[in-house]
Amino acid sequence: MARRGLRSNRIKDKDPEEKKPQKLEFTYQFKVKETKELLEFLLEKMNTSRNVCKQLLSNNQVLVNGALERQYNLMLAKEDEVKISKRPIHDDSFNKKPKKRNINRPKKIDIIYEDKDFIAIDKPEGLLSIENGKDIVSAYSYVSEYLRLNNKLDRPFVIHRIDKETSGVLVFAKNPYVQSKLRLEWNKYVVLREYIALVEGEMPKKSDRIVVNLLEDKNNMVYVAKGHDGKTSITNYEVIKTDGKYSLLRVLIDTGRKNQIRVVLANLGHPIVDDDKYGSKTKTIGRLGLHASKLIFKHPFTNEELVFETRFPKAFNIIK
C-alpha cells in the first residue's frame, strides 16, 4: 500500500494592486461531457470556423473553469465548464495566476503530495474548491497556476470537492484519462473519506451510523427529508473526546452529499461549532469546525491504494 501525505511544498500568493473587477457577460456556457481538445470542443459547440474559434482564444474571450484560456490544444475533461465572453476580458482577476485578494484568501497553500497523475493539497478554510461564478479565487486556480509554471499546457482536473468553509485534503488529477475514469465510477474506487468535526454538546452515543435522506431547498439549504424523498446519505461517527460542552468526532462518510456532515450532525442536535448556517449558536474557534483529514482511493489503472492525509487544525484542540 502506498502512503501519501504530510509532505509540504507551498504555492505562494503575490499581492499586486487591486483593480475594479470587469463586469462580464457570456454569450455561451457549456458543460464538457467527454475528454477532447478545447478547439475541437469549440468547433463542435459553436458551429463556426476554426479561425473564429482561435480568434476568441487570442482575444481573451474563453474561460475554462473560471480561468482565461488561450491554448487551443488544452485537453478538456468531463464536468469542465467553458464560457465564451461577449467582449475581450481585461480583468487580471481572470488570469490563471489568482490576483484579487479578499480577507479569506490564504497567503499559501500546502502541497501534501504530487506525482505524474495526482496533486493533493491541504485546502485552507474559506477557499472554494473551484470557482462558482461569483468568487473566482479557488484552490483550482492556485493549483492550475502552479502546474503551468512547469508546462503551460498542464492543468488540474477535478475529482471531488469539499465545502468552502471546510479545510483539508483536496486531490486533483493531472490528466483527463485518470480523472474521467475516477469521476465515472468514484464509489467503486474510493475506499475511505474521513473528517474531523468539532461539535456542540455531548453525543448521545459513543459511535453511530446514521442513514437519512437529504433534500436541498431553493435557498440552497440542505435538510433531512421525511419519508423516501431526497438522496440517501450514510454518515458514521465515533467520539474521540468530549468535555460535555464540546465533542471532537471522527466522521466517515459512505456518500458525498452536499453539506452532508453539517446537516446530519445538526439534525441530531449537535451542530458543528461556528456553523451558523445549520444552527450553531457559538462563535468558538473563528471558523467552521470541520476538516477533511484523510482520503483513500484506488488508482483506476494500477489499482494501487493511495492514501492522502493531513492533521486537523490546532484550533480544534479546545477540549482538555
- Catalytic residue ranges: 163
Q: Which amino acid is at 262?
A: R
Burial (CB count <10 Å: 0-12, 13-18, 19+), residue 112: buried
Kindly report the number of other CB atoms within 10 A of residue 9's CB atom. Answer: 14
- Give CA–CA dist 30/45, Å, rounded: 8
Q: Which amino acid is at 231?
A: K
- Paired with 172 in beta bridges are 119, 158
The length of the chain in residues reads 320
Q: Are 195 and 251 in contact (CB under 8 A)?
A: yes
Q: Are 214 and 231 in contact (CB under 8 A)?
A: yes
Cα 238 to chain centroid distance, Å, stands at 25
E strand map for the chain = 2-3, 9-12, 26-31, 36-37, 62-64, 67-68, 75-76, 81-85, 108-114, 118-123, 157-158, 167-173, 190-200, 207-216, 222-224, 231-242, 246-253, 290-298, 305-309
Cα 60 to chain centroid distance, Å, stands at 26
Kind of pairing, strands 2-3 and 26-31?
unpaired
**Which residue bears the cell 471522527?**
250
Q: Are 121 and 111 in contact (CB under 8 A)?
A: yes
